[in-house]
Amino acid sequence: MDIFKFFAGLDIVDALLVNKNGRFSGEAFVVFASPMQADFALQRDRQNMGRRYVEVFRCKKQDYYNAVAAEVSYEGILDNDYHGSPPPSRSKRSIDKDQLEYTAVLKLRGLPFSVTKSEIIDFFEEFDLTEDKIHIACRPDGKATGEAYVEFISADEAKKAMSKDKMTIGSRYVELFPSTPEEERRAESRSRHLVGH
């Protein structure tokens, strides 16, 4: 929330706080909706957030992807509800998504909050998807989290669908990760406790 306030008036697509050994490192990656928004964000370099002044600088997309992959690899492998310190053995920062265990379920991240199931079906147009195989994750207040789970007919199909990783829906690029039916069910049951679901 502090980051959203610091960049008030700009459209933030994603904010990732970087953890080192389970502790916040003081760095974050912030993705804006357009290059122009990022230019405006750079003008806030060395302004204060609370008592600290914050440095804002441009970085490569690959640095952000690596940071996301490092987060996801230990969260995803150990269990997505786990937020402790990563296992000490993880010295390799980027994760090779081909090496991961695939099931028929993929997790989508970075979706527009207004995304619909039919837009997700269009996104995977060459795959045979139906709306009942798509679950859009929601927060307790009913707002979308920007994540969704999609179930394909087989693990092979899910692996083929990874070719859409980092493609866009609307103005946002979408990241795909291998998931599991268990993770999908947990997200679904979290959303089902909400009013109106």
CATH number at residue 144: 3.30.70.330
pTM attached to this predicted model: 0.51
Please check whether residue 177 is in contact with residue 107, taking contact to mean a CB–CB distance below 8 angstroms: yes
Burial of 95-117, coded b for 16+ CB within 10 Å and e otherwise, reads bebeebebbbbbbbbbbbeebeb
**What would the pLDDT profile of 85-96 be if each residue is shown by its tens digit?**
444 444 344 455
Rounded Cα distance, 15 and 10, in Å: 12
Q: Coil, strand or helix: which one is 46?
A: coil
Residue 25 located in a structural domain: yes
Q: Is residue 112 domain-shared with residue 67, that is, in the same domain? A: no
Residues 114 and 182 in one domain: yes
Q: Which residues contact 166 (CB under 8 A, 6 or more apart)?
A: 65, 173, 174, 175
SS3 124: coil
Indicate if 110 and 188 belong to the same structural domain.
yes
10 occurs within a structural domain: yes
Q: Is there a single domain that holds both residue 115 and residue 40?
A: no
The total of structural domains in the chain comes to 2
Residue 87 lies in a domain: no
pLDDT value, residue 120: 96
Contacts of 119-123 spanning 24+ positions with Cβ under 8 A: 119/169, 119/170, 120/148, 120/150, 120/169, 123/164, 123/167, 123/169, 123/174
Contact 148, 111 (CB under 8 A): yes
For the beta carbon of residue 15, count every other beta carbon within 10 angstroms. Answer: 15
> Does residue 88 form part of some domain?
no
Tally of CB atoms within 10 A around 118: 10
Tokens of 196: 């109106």
The stretches in the chain having pLDDT less than 50 are: 76-94, 195-197
Tokens matching residue 85? 């310190």
Q: What is the pLDDT of residue 135?
A: 94
Classify residue 95: in a domain, yes or no: no
Q: Is residue 59 part of a domain?
A: yes
Residue numbers of the domain that contains 124: 105-192
